[in-house]
Structure 1
Amino acid sequence: MTSSSALDAGRTAAAERRWAEAYELLARVDATDGLASSDLELLATVALLRGEPPASIAALSRAYEAHLAGEDTAGAARSAGWLALNLIELGDFTRSVTWAARAMRVANAMAEPGALAGFVRLAPAVAQLGSGEPGEARRRFEEVLTIAERHGDGELAAVTRLGLGKTLIEMGAIAEGFGCFDGAMTAVAAGDVAPVPAGVISCAVISDAIMAFDLDRATAWTGVLDRWCRDQPEMITFSGQRHALQAGLHLIRGAWGEASTAAELALSRFRAGDYRAVYGAPYQLAELGRLRGAFHSAEESYRRAGESGWEPQPGLSLLHLAVGRTQRAQEEIRRSAAGADPFTRRFLLPAVVEIEVAAGDVEAARRAVDELRAAGRSTPTPMLAATVAAEEARMLLVAGDPSAALAAARDATGAWQALGAPYERARSRVTAGRALLELGDREAAHVEFRGAREVFAALGADPALAELADLMGDRPAGVLTARELEVLRLVSTGLTNRAIGARLSLSEKTVARHLSNIFGKLGLSTRAAATAYAYENGLV
């Protein structure tokens, strides 16, 4: 194939979103004959979508130089503007500032820059958003949006609405922020946005919808992202994040098998080059492991998620709680909530309530419930209403008001059922059962417990099952506690009792006692037998 025909084939492949073929052909032509400025821009886009950010940055830098050499100032401003935005995505803020300044300088020298006058202001606005001055960021995004609308640039308007929406949310105007997201996603769904900004917008707004307890938007927007990714199966960037977001929704919906598959796919796509999944892929694997009782592997996955620079919260604190490290859970969730912006803090509040309840600080739990309830009044969603009722029930139970706790738990049970969230519904039934026990109605309590047990067993929620067995007083002899499961998993890795104690903040004597209980319950006598049991039963 000649260079000319290879170039034409590469352009066609890119137009048809056959990204692997497009990247191979365009890179080949570039290596042998070099590419013109517009084709270098195309190569930059294709490389980014194939999970090759350094190659993308290099191609876009060369496109900028080629545009300048050809006196194409519009092309130069465009290339510099995208470089500034892409470098922010990659965390290279110093180089982003440099390229943003170049973009502004080139555009300002143009007699009629048109929508480019807004586009080159976009990266500085995004940088301003991360600087802790949302008021100034809002002003800048509104300026860009005005320019985009004046010149009929729908793509620029969509990207700007993402930034403006995030700014409004940071300022506490959550409903208005999501209104901006609606506009951005309408453009994405209509196919009016190019691949890179479409992926950025979709993944960002879905993540925020989940944090806002807005299950309807998260589900609808994930459907758009899923269809978009399916239409271009050779795309790597955004594909891992797509699977991670799907895993989170599957967990809520009780489709834990699908969640496991999605989380593994997210991790594989991250390894293939989707750098954007660096947090979501391991975090969702950790969440599934925590809920199923695979505590050791969950902790490792939370650690990997934390290496991204984002705190793996609230999952890590809830894991500490599950394995009995209550004080550590309390310290970490308090620190995270205190240092979070208001929007993130609201997302952490349900875990704050659960952990404070377990730690016995009823007043701290009450304050968190009040804060969560206030959020529900300002931006109500069905999932947030269910969450408020569930956490209020937990708090009221330990506060000594079982009647009110029972009413709240039943409200939560109905709300979770309407949302199609079986695990959370079962947890609320357990709270209702606890309240009924406090009220002396043991028979009604066990009806709630049995209903919850069926759900936990179907999902494979071993920690919840073990807790429920204790409540019902019928724990089978062979059922291990959550702590015993954790000790067994660590034994299976070859750790000594001392090393296990150091890992779990337990004394060596306590570890030995747990191991003795494990041997007795399982009818085993050696560490090797315990290791074999763990592997045979899928515990590691």
Structure 2
Amino acid sequence: MVEIVDQTPPDRALVDKPLDVHAVGDWQATYDWFVAGKTNGELSGADLVALAEAAWWLGKIDESLDAFTRAHRIFVDVGQTADAAMAAFYLGLHTGLRGDVSKGAGWMRRCYHLLDEIPECAAHGFPLYLETAQALGRGDTDTAMASATRMHTLGRTLANTDLVAVGVLCEGKTLVALGQLDEGLALLDEAMLMVSTGEVTPFWSGAIYCHVMSVCHELTDLRRASEVTKSATQWCSPLPDANLYPGICRVHRAQVLQLHGSWDDAMTEALRAHADTVNVNSGVASDARYEVAEILRLRGDLAGAEESLRAAHELGADPQPGLALIRLAQGNTEAAASSIRTALADEHLSRSARSRLHLAQLEIAFAAGDLDTARRASAALTEAAQTHSGSGLAAAATRARGAVLLAEGKAVTALPVLRTACRQWQQLEAPYETARTRLLLAETYRGLGDDDAVALELDAAATVFERLGALPDIQRVAALRGASTAPGGLSTREIEVLRLIAAGNSNREIATALFLSERTVHRHVANVFTKLGVTSRSAATAYAFENGIVDPRRR
């Protein structure tokens, strides 16, 4: 432990050089200098702040918190209240990020008490960063915008570029949460410009990178996400792996790699991000584990996916929609539908979070034969995507509309919509999503009787799925290749239901045979009747025999 003599040591030779080194970001040199100086026993509050920051950048969180704590004590003792408040702020921030929420909140309360004692200064601005984040977390955009604007204004008044940049960032995030995407993204670009021109100090530069990457991921804005992630990766390259920012960057890089079809690389980045941050920031570690779960789910390792998702949840991640999609893949459609309904009941969800849930709800609704829910989910996605053309969200909304039309038996109308969705995903360089769209196109062409087009789409999709190791999708391609051409636009499941109807089975008997609930069977039967234009089981049975869905010899 370094002994503290007083606030201004008589001999500044020890600290002048490390403070200069600290100013240009050579964290290891700063840390080594101060640690070597412990025999002198002469470190001021400012010296300890520099040591705390250097230790934080090097991933030495315990030493960083200890140095900030001792700096805070000195600042209080010598009456440097603003500096004491800032030390308390960083203690609250770093302690909370590490997962000790109660202790972090205690430091923040101390920060506010100290700020109450002094006239308004830059130190009053930085706690507004956390106030904005907390307000957005509970859906209170009015409070979030008020805090962000005050931070921005205070920064302009005091010529503090960190406050200006973070204020602009928070204003942009709030506008995005309000659905004003063009205006919000323009402000995020402005904050990024301040970072790229060197106007923002390293800590807040990293924070801005992290928030912008997060917004890009939430909006499925693949182009912007790729650009920002590439820039952030370059910015993080000199930093030690133990630092928080490289871990955050790796999570976002994993998300981009997954969408661009580099699943092995995405898995590597996510696992490394988890290992590097699990003792530094539980939130980042949980995001990394969630990403691992997603890749495992897509590859058909449902046990591994659920194990990883539970680990993510223990670290603080919301398990939805991943858990619902795992239940769907396990064949438990009712549990999947219930999970999504529960998740969507949260009134404080952001637009982007709600959209991700609607995407999962759509998939689950199709499996359950619940076209009404599928229509509502599709409409919600279309509304959310209206303000952000050219994004993955827009492509997903287009595909959803086509899928609903196909499920309604409107293959002719669905075809141009699904073609557009496929083109949108191709332009975004998202091979897996393109391949999934091709499967819908294959079903559409089958309904129109174009077997050559069916084969082309299935072959193209299979090539991607096999390269990625997407086993469930590979099996789906095989099922579609083996399915006979079904009239009326019936899905494979609906053909199974119709055959059992023709065999004289009741809904309860069909549910038992297909391991479905009676409610799900009722929906499938209703869809079959709608697509075939019949109103009775006997008419549906006649249709099945007349169109070769059931062997006529079974009459």
Superposed pair shares fold, TM > 0.5 = yes
Q: 2:468 and 2:31 mapped to 1: Cα distance?
A: 42
Alignment of 1:243-254 (within 5 A): 243-254=250-261
Given that 1:236 and 1:272 are in contact with CA atoms closer than 8 Å, whether structure 2 keeps it comes out as no
Q: Are 1:429 and 2:438 matched, yes or no?
A: yes
Q: How far 1:225 moved relative to its partner?
A: 1.2
Given that 2:296 and 2:305 are in contact with CA atoms closer than 8 Å, whether structure 1 keeps it comes out as yes
**CA 1:129/1:30 → structure 2, altered by over 3 Å: closer, same or farther?**
farther
Given that 2:132 and 2:148 are in contact with CA atoms closer than 8 Å, whether structure 1 keeps it comes out as yes
Q: 1:336 aligns with which of 332, 335, 343?
A: 343
Q: 1:265 aligns with which of 264, 272, 284?
A: 272
1:364 is aligned with what amino acid?
Answer: T
TM-score by length of 2: 0.78
Q: 2:377 and 2:241 mapped to 1: Cα distance?
A: 45
Given that 1:170 and 1:341 are in contact with CA atoms closer than 8 Å, whether structure 2 keeps it comes out as no
Q: Deviations over 1:328-374 (max 9, x none)?
A: 22221222222251421023222111111111111101111111111
Q: 2:54 and 2:411 mapped to 1: Cα distance?
A: 60
**CA 1:329/1:149 → structure 2, altered by over 3 Å: closer, same or farther?**
same
Structure 1 gaps of 5+ residues are: 475-504, 507-540
Q: How far 1:173 moved relative to its partner?
A: 3.4
Partner of 2:402: 393
Q: 1:217 and 1:448 mapped to 2: Cα distance?
A: 29
Alignment of 1:122-141 (within 5 A): 122-141=129-148
Q: How far 1:180 moved relative to its partner?
A: 2.8
Q: 1:472 aligns with which of 456, 476, 481?
A: 481
Q: How far 1:74 moved relative to its partner?
A: 3.3
Q: Are 1:50 and 2:43 matched, yes or no?
A: no
2:90 is aligned with what amino acid?
Answer: W
Q: 1:122 and 1:234 mapped to 2: Cα distance?
A: 26
Q: 1:412 aligns with which of 421, 425, 447?
A: 421
RMSD: 2.9
Q: How far 1:246 moved relative to its partner?
A: 0.6
Q: 2:387 aligns with which of 364, 374, 378?
A: 378
Shifted more, 367-376 versus 69-78: the winner is 69-78
Structure 2 gaps of 5+ residues are: 4-11, 484-514, 517-555
Q: Give the greater-gyration-radius structure (CA).
A: 2
For the residue of structure 2 that corresponds to 1:35, the secondary structure is coil
Q: Are 1:78 and 2:81 matched, yes or no?
A: no
1:437 is aligned with what amino acid?
Answer: R
Shifted more, 412-421 versus 435-444: the winner is 435-444
Given that 1:285 and 1:301 are in contact with CA atoms closer than 8 Å, whether structure 2 keeps it comes out as yes
Shifted more, 213-222 versus 165-174: the winner is 165-174
**CA 1:151/1:435 → structure 2, altered by over 3 Å: closer, same or farther?**
same
Partner of 2:191: 184
Given that 2:48 and 2:70 are in contact with CA atoms closer than 8 Å, whether structure 1 keeps it comes out as yes
Q: How far 1:229 moved relative to its partner?
A: 0.6
**CA 1:364/1:119 → structure 2, altered by over 3 Å: closer, same or farther?**
same
Q: How far 1:457 moved relative to its partner?
A: 1.4
Partner of 1:365: 374
Q: How far 1:430 moved relative to its partner?
A: 0.9
Q: How far 1:471 moved relative to its partner?
A: 1.0
Q: 1:351 aligns with which of 343, 360, 364?
A: 360
Partner of 2:160: 153
Partner of 2:468: 459
Q: Identity over the aligned pairs, expressed in percent?
A: 32
Q: 2:60 and 2:53 mapped to 1: Cα distance?
A: 10
**CA 1:127/1:431 → structure 2, altered by over 3 Å: closer, same or farther?**
closer
Shifted more, 450-459 versus 318-327: the winner is 318-327
Partner of 1:66: 74
Q: 1:124 and 1:426 mapped to 2: Cα distance?
A: 42
Q: 1:270 and 1:101 mapped to 2: Cα distance?
A: 26
Q: Are 1:313 and 2:320 matched, yes or no?
A: yes
2:150 is aligned with what amino acid?
Answer: E
Partner of 2:486: none
Q: 2:457 aligns with which of 423, 448, 453?
A: 448
2:94 is aligned with what amino acid?
Answer: N
